[in-house]
Each structure stands twice: as structure tokens, then as C-alpha cells.
Amino acid sequence: MLRRLYARVLSLAGSRKAPWALAVVSFTESSFFPIPPDVMLAPMVLARRERAFVYAGICTAASVAGGVLGYAIGYFLEPLGLALLKLMGHAEGREAFQAWFSEWGLAVILIKGLTPVPYKLVTIASGLAQFSFFTFLWASVVTRGARFFLTAAILKYYGPALLAEFERRMGLYVMVGGGLLVSLWVLWKLLG
């Protein structure tokens, strides 16, 4: 069953509508959607390696645009922003986010924008804290671009070898990856 799902994702990744779907996922993930665009980016690059950097550009542009929406939600729609952050396990009030950003500010955006930590957390919290929009915007372009272009480059140049290894031991990698994600989530909850 896992192999069929994998084959289906790869075939969808090579379709004509895949770039639009990638843009939608990248946009919505930055403000409210739970699934990261990497889930689509990786198979799309593997299906059409010559378009790796085009796909990374789509991810970056759509993610930053979605980040602007997340910022606007936090800035203009505070009750909705606080509710979304509470759903993600961060029930702190506006004052807490302002203190967080006045102490760490740019570092929060630069570090969290590169990691798998939900970017929507950064975008909404930036708006709630009324962090400098210009700084938020350029830092988002830098970090999201670095993340997606690095992912695309690795897959473009090393993808076939990585793909063959993944296909050979797919079940093992899915179990290890799932266990690692659960462990990181538990650790995040315990420390947060």
C-alpha cells in the first residue's frame, strides 16, 4: 500500500497542475495549513530534476506571500491569530509575543524559517508582536528561499541515489522518520 501511494505522489508530481498545487500548499502552510510544501517539492524535483530551481522559486514566493497573510492575521485579526497559535500549542498572549520578539526578533525569523518548525507560528506571532514588517519580509525571503533552494539542489544533484536508497528501504525510513517526528514533538511539548 505504501508503495502504491508513493507511486501516485510521484506521478502527480510530474503532472501539469503540480506547480499550482505546490504554490497553494506553500501559501497556505505559511499561515494556517498543517502540511509543509516539502511533501510536494521533493517528488516534483525527483520527477523533473531540470525544473528543481523553478519549483524552489514557486515554493519561496508562495510561502512568503502566505507568510504575509499570516502576519496580517496576527496584526489585524488578533483573536483569530491567538486562536490559531493556541491550536499549535502556544497560548501566550500578545504581550508575551511582543516580549519574545523584542528580545529575539530577527533571530526567531531567521532560525525558524529554515527549520521544519511550523513557519505559520513565526508569521502569526510576528504580526501579533507588531514586529517590523520590512524586516519580517526580507528575513522570510532569505530563510524560506535558503530552505527550498537547498532542498531542491540536494534532490537535483543527489536525488537519483537518494531515491534508489529510499525505494529499497521505504518501510524502514518511514518508521524511523515517523518515530523521529513523534520524538521531536514530544520533546518540543516537554520543553515548551
The pTM (predicted TM-score) of the whole model is 0.72
Give the pLDDT score at 158: 85
The CA dihedral of 24, 173, 154, 41, to the nearest 10 degrees, is -10
Closest CA to 25 of 50, 2, 58: 58
Burial class (CB in 10 A: 0-12, 13-18, 19+), 58: buried
Residue whose entry in the numeric block shows the C-alpha cell 531515491:
163
pLDDT tens per residue across span 100-117: 667 766 776 766 665 656
Closest CA to 22 of 3, 51, 2, 6: 51
pLDDT per position in the chain (192 positions), as tens?
556 755 666 666 778 888 998 998 889 888 777 777 887 888 889 888 999 999 999 999 999 999 999 999 989 988 888 787 777 666 666 666 677 667 766 776 766 665 656 788 888 888 988 889 999 999 899 989 988 998 899 899 988 777 667 667 666 666 776 666 667 666 666 765
pLDDT tens per residue across span 43-78: 889 888 999 999 999 999 999 999 999 999 989 988
Q: Which domain holds residue 165?
A: 2-191
Say how many domains are in the chain: 1
Q: What is the mean pLDDT of the chain?
A: 79
